[in-house]
Amino acid sequence: MKTGELCNRAVVTAGRDTAITDAARLMRDHHVGSIVVVDETAASVIPVGILTDRDIVLEIIAKEVATNDVCVGDIMSYALLKVGEDDSVFEAAQRMRARGVRRAPVTGAGGGLVGILALDDILELLSEELSLLAKLTARETQQEQQKRT
């Protein structure tokens, strides 16, 4: 399966100059733990970073930094792992594991943002597949019992 098929296409985004309080409000209003930081051009929206709720806690709250003194660009993660929409989910999962990230923006051929792939999406897919395999095993046992009686 391709990442473009599995990713969430409703991505919450913000610019680098967005105030931290506005970013936190976006996360709360959209029930997400991260926002993709983007640069918008006339042609597309390019992901340039990611900001997580954890970033806010560790970089702002734990250090007692005044929230009105900080914008998204000050604390976002710039070392952004992006995956292509034609990459396989397995490849994306390997890259996410290697980098230790739970979320990766998904980009199209021109580098524009098309979605976000989260570890939760991959886990849900795998759990569905494992459930089907478990049902297959149970069905096989049931068929064998019917055949033997």
Alpha-carbon distances of 26 from 13, 52, 140, rounded to whole Å: 9, 11, 49
pLDDT average, residue stretch 1-5: 95
Return the residue matching tokens 């886990």: 123
More confidently predicted of 145 and 31? 31
Return the residue matching tokens 């936190």: 24
* pTM (predicted TM-score): 0.83
Going by pLDDT thresholds of 50, 70 and 90, the confidence category of residue 90 is very high
State yes or no: pLDDT of 83 exceeds 80: yes
CA distance 75 to 38: 14
> Can you list the domains of the chain with their CATH numbers?
3-119 (3.10.580.10)
Amino acid letter for position 77: S
In this predicted model, what pLDDT tens digit does every residue of 16-58 receive, in sequence order?
A: 999 999 999 999 999 999 999 999 988 899 999 999 999 999 9
